[in-house]
Each structure stands twice: as structure tokens, then as C-alpha cells.
Amino acid sequence: MNDLSPELVGLEPISRAKTYTATSPAGTLHDLHLEIEGKRFPAGRIPRPRGRLLRWLGILGPGLVAASAGNDAGGIATYTSAGAQYGYSLIWVMVLITLPLALVQETCARLGAATGRGLLELIRERFGWSWALFAMTVVGIANAGLIVSEFAGLGAAAELLGIPKIIALPLAAVVLWGLVLYWSYAYLEKALVLMTLVFLVYPVAAWMGHPDAHQLAQGAFVPHLQSNQGFLMLLVALIGTTITPYMQLFQQSSVVEMGGTRKSYGNERWDAYIGCTLSNLMSISMMIATAATLHKTGHTSIESAADAAKALEPVVGHAATALFAVGLLGATLLAAAVLPLATAYSVSEALGAPKGVDLDFRRAPLFFGLYSLLLVLGMTVALIPGLPLMKLLVGVQVLNGVLLPIILVFVMLLANDQRLMGNLRNSRWLNFLGWATVVTVSTAVLVMLGSQLMGALGR
């Protein structure tokens, strides 16, 4: 008997264990043994992490990875641009959006645990092929630009470290390709979680920048709006880079891949909440750091990665460029791994093809073929000379903000389907907050598009 779910024998979920080989010589549960990573344990005697800290760290996985991947090259460009141009006045957006982000990600984790299916697979089964292809197109458009932007950011980070991007980008693509093809999901997840540690430098930079406490509190808790196009575009970009469609796709597919189930659902919820909270704290720290340094000194225009690196000078002085480059490198590598995976999951789910990191090219040719193709395309386009990096990064986040409501509507409809969700269906307050998020994001997008149209008409 293979792939035995732990709830079938009354066990609590085993964090990060993907497959179990069960043996029962006498044919009874009392004689049942489970084999995990080459070791055999009697049922009910599976070792658990010792210590409260290890137990909390043990539940972190897809939620932390998906949320942290949002702090990618485009996210860093957007957050640092917001801090440099508008100081502390846009931090309230990040404060308000933290709860909706956590709820959306948790809803997707719950969808995965309740159904054992990815988001696009559920859309195909629930709404039909036409809607699945529509959702796949939306995801493809959003993710294509993001993948290019990640490799462009990776190239910028490499050049800050003195490595030509013509060498760095192909090397990175080969490493990411090898990680997915030759590592198991459990090892890949651990590697991605470790990559998120690079973001710890930003809270230090924010503190060392000696931000004005009164202005910071006002920016965090008093909403501030402007009607100019630049402000509105940056507002939508902040939303688009914080609640990014690929984050929901990756979260749900990863919960399915790691064996999350309806009866054992619990750790996935905390993983989503903790991951989103930590991720947004990093994002806010980026805004505070640039507001306290760049905006304060009048350096409001960020045209390159080197400009954004100046925000770290209060922490490490002349080493700011190198440290920023390392952080940007880790951020782009994390997102460059997650994005093609999320896209490959989505397309495979929409078309009903096999998918999963724990499979191989022979068993999942579409999944691995698409992942490989996306890496090559992202790398190739990013090598084109003269790409306007910062404008590209922020512009892609605006596109994500525009497409986001479409994905959120699908998530909300599926999370309220009693036949799919059963006892994990959305509660009333989750529905209120979820639909309020859809309306708010849609309104912001429409206002921005209206402003762009009025500007084009010369009014």
C-alpha cells in the first residue's frame, strides 16, 4: 500500500513528509509501519520536531515561499520607488493589504487541502474548458512578463557584483533547471525557504536609517491619496506586486504536492498567515529604508539597481551596493524558481496533464518541458541590451494588479462551493473580506485606467 495518507490511520500530519510506504504483515493497524525517508516507524510513533521553535519552523513552507517570492526584483523596485518618491505616505497601503493577502493565500491553501487539486484544475472541472483556457491566458500573460523581469533583475544583481550577465543568466538558468529536475519537492522547498533569509537585511536598514517616528506613524495609519497618474500607477503596482496571481497558484499547487489533506489541514493555515506577515514586514521595511534615506535627501528617482542600493548605506556604508546585490540575487533566484513552476503547474492543470516536482520528464513531459522553455525564454529576453530595468519591473507589477481581480473572483467562487469544500468552505467574515478585496482592487485598477485614458485625451 503506497502513498498512505496519515489521517487514514489516525495520525497527526507529518510536516514535510511527502510519501509513506506502509507495511502490515498481519493485516491489522496495530502491525502497521510507515517508512519515511528510509526509516521505519510503528503507526502512531512518528517522530516530531522537538522544541517549540523547531515545531513552528517546521510548519513553514509554501506560504512563506510564495509570499517571499513576491518580494522579487519587481517588488523591490516597486517598494523602493514608492519610498523614494512618496516617503512614508504609501505605507498605509501595505498595512491594509497584509490581512487580505494572508486571507487570499490561506484560501488557496485550503482549496488545495480540501480538493487535492490546483487552482486551474478546479476551474476546468468546475467551470469548463473555456474558462480554464481564459484563466490560463491571464496567468500566462502575467507570468511571462514577470519571468523576464526576474532574469533582468538577476542580471542587474550580477553586474553589481562584477559578474557579466551573459555569464550569470545562463548559469542561473542551469542551476534552477537542475534543482527542479533532480531534487525532490521536500529538498527544493527547504532550499527556497533558506533563500528567503536574505530579506532580513531590510528591517535593519530601516532601523539604521533613523526614520521620523511621527511621519512614519502618520504614513502607516492615515490614508493619503493623490490624483496624479504616477501615484495611481504606483498604488496599483503595490497591490499587484503584493497580491500577485502566481503566488496563489504556487501556494495551492504546493499544498497539493506536499500532500495536504482536508482532515489534517491546520499547519497550512499558519504557514500562510506567518509567511504573508513576515513578507509584508520586509516590504514595509524596504519602503521605510528608502524613505528615510533617498526621499529625505531628495533622491526621489530610482533608475537602476545601484540607485536602490543607496538605501542600505546607513547600515553598511560603502558595502551597500554589494549587500543589496546579494539580496537582489537571492530574491530573483527565489522568484525565478517559483514563477516558472507556478506557470507550469497552471498550464498542466488547465490541460489535465500530469504535473509535479517529484515526477520526471517521462511522466510529466508538458510540466517539465514548459518549465524548461520558460527559463530559456526569460533568460534570452533579459539578455537583450538596453532594457529599461526599473520601468520594466514596475510596469509588470501594474499589469499584475490589472489582472489580479480575475483570479480573485475564481478563488472566491471556488472557496464557496459546498460540494468542493465541505466543512472548509469560506465563513461569512472571510467572504466579506474576500469580496471587499476584489471590489477594492478592481476600483483601484479602474481609477488608474480612467486616469490614463483622461491623460491620453488631454483632459
How do residues 310-322 score in pLDDT, each as one tens digit? Answer: 666 665 666 677 7
What average pLDDT does the segment 386-398 reach?
Answer: 74
How do residues 22-72 score in pLDDT, each as one tens digit? Answer: 444 443 333 344 444 444 444 433 444 444 544 444 456 666 777 676 677
User: In the predicted model, is pLDDT for residue 414 greater than 90?
Assistant: yes
Placement of cell 523576464 in the chain? 148
Residues in the chain: 459
DSSP 8-state symbol, 13: P
Percent of the chain with pLDDT over 90: 14
Of 309-323, 389-403, 426-440, give the range with the top mean pLDDT: 426-440
Percent of the chain with pLDDT over 70: 76
For residues 211 and 290, what is the distance between their CA atoms, to the nearest angstrom? 10
Q: 135 — phi, psi (to 5°)?
A: -65, -40
Domain ranges of the chain: 1-48, 52-456
For residues 170 and 229, what is the distance between their CA atoms, to the nearest angstrom? 37
User: In the predicted model, is pLDDT for residue 368 greater than 80?
Assistant: yes
Q: Which fold is adopted by the domain 52-456?
A: Amino acid/polyamine transporter I (1.20.1740)
Beta-bridge partner residues of 35? 21, 40
> Which set of grid coordinates corresponds to residue 23?
507495511
Beta-bridge partner residues of 2? 21
For the chain, the first-to-last Cα distance in angstroms comes to: 70
The pLDDT of residue 412:
94
For residues 383 and 152, what is the distance between their CA atoms, to the nearest angstrom? 7
Q: Render 377-391 in DSSP notation, one character per residue.
A: HHHHHHTSTT--HHH
Q: How confident is the model at residue 273 (pLDDT cuts 50, 70, 90)?
A: confident
The pLDDT of residue 21:
42
For residues 48 and 304, what is the distance between their CA atoms, to the nearest angstrom? 47
H-state helical runs in 383-427:
389-415, 418-421
What average pLDDT does the segment 322-327 reach?
Answer: 76
Spatial contact of 416 and 422, defined as CB atoms under 8 Å apart: no
Placement of cell 496567468 in the chain? 139
Q: Which residues contact 150 (CB under 8 A, 6 or more apart)?
A: 72, 73, 74, 332, 335, 336, 339, 378
For residues 125 and 132, what is the distance between their CA atoms, to the nearest angstrom? 8
What strands lie across the sheet with 21-23, from one edge to the other? 21-23, 33-36, 39-42
pTM value is 0.74
